[in-house]
Amino acid sequence: MRALIPLLVGLSLGFDGQAVRADSREPLLMAAGFSAPATPHAAADFELPDPSGRRHRLHEQRGKVVFLNFWATWCPPCREEMPAMEQLYQGLRQQPFAMWAVNYQERPEVVTRFFSVHQLHFLALVDTEGSVSARYELLGLPTTHLIDCGGQMVGRAVGPRSWSNDAIRTSIERDQGSGA
């Protein structure tokens, strides 16, 4: 047992002798359906219009956890996850939380009609040129990113998820309380 203690201490130290802190949010993010980025980095800032033409900039959401979803009306898995996104939004909308649904290359009137028919109340943005979607290097639709209060990318999910689960709410609430 005594020989094991130095080994464990050695594993917890980096080569320069400084302690390496494991990100305690990673297991929670995995339970919520996200994978953590290999290296922490700031979310790429962008500005897009909503269907009415009003422009929104990601950087202005600092201080909030941002649920950033890329989707399209023609994408069955995207449509499948929208009701759970609405449930999540309704449960967290009074907190420092923003849900942005970035539509991939469709006309604003198509997005407006879809949101109206499906009674969705979170923010829709239109990326008619696909430039923001390209910047976020989408592998498919839907793709969702979770951005903490400090603007850091903390999670990514490719494919539909049941966003109304307890793990995602706990993960978001944890990031809200951290003031990251």
Q: What is the CATH number of the domain that holds 74?
A: 3.40.30.10
The count of structural domains within the chain is 1
Are 176 and 154 in contact by the 8 Å Cβ rule? The answer is no
Residue 17 has a pLDDT of 35
130: which residues sit within 8 A by CB, 6+ positions away? Answer: 104, 105
Residue 15 located in a structural domain: no
Read off the tokens for 141: 């639709």
Helix (H) or strand (E) holding 80: helix 76-92
Count Cα neighbours of 149 within 13 Å in the Cβ-side half-sphere.
Answer: 15
| Top-confidence residue, 168 or 78 | 78
Dist CA 98 CA 68 (whole Å): 8
Residue 2 clears pLDDT 70, i.e. is over it = no
Dist CA 59 CA 61 (whole Å): 5
Q: Are strands 123-127 and 97-104 parallel, antiparallel or unpaired?
A: parallel
Residue 5 located in a structural domain: no
| Top-confidence residue, 58 or 26 | 58
Residue 30 located in a structural domain: yes
Residue 174 located in a structural domain: yes
Could you report the per-residue pLDDT of 103-153, keeping only the tens digit for each? 999 999 999 999 999 999 999 999 999 999 999 999 999 999 999 999 999
Residue 178 has a pLDDT of 58
Residue 38 located in a structural domain: yes
Residue 8 located in a structural domain: no
| Top-confidence residue, 39 or 10 | 39
Residue 23 has a pLDDT of 57
Residue 10 located in a structural domain: no
Residue 1 located in a structural domain: no
Adjacency order of strands within the sheet including 97-104: 123-127, 97-104, 65-71, 143-147, 153-158
The chain-wide mean pLDDT, for the chain, equals 86
Share of the chain above pLDDT 70, in %: 85
Question: In terms of Cα–Cα distance, which of 162, 143, 142 is closest to 75?
Answer: 142
Domain of 170? 23-178
| Top-confidence residue, 166 or 86 | 86
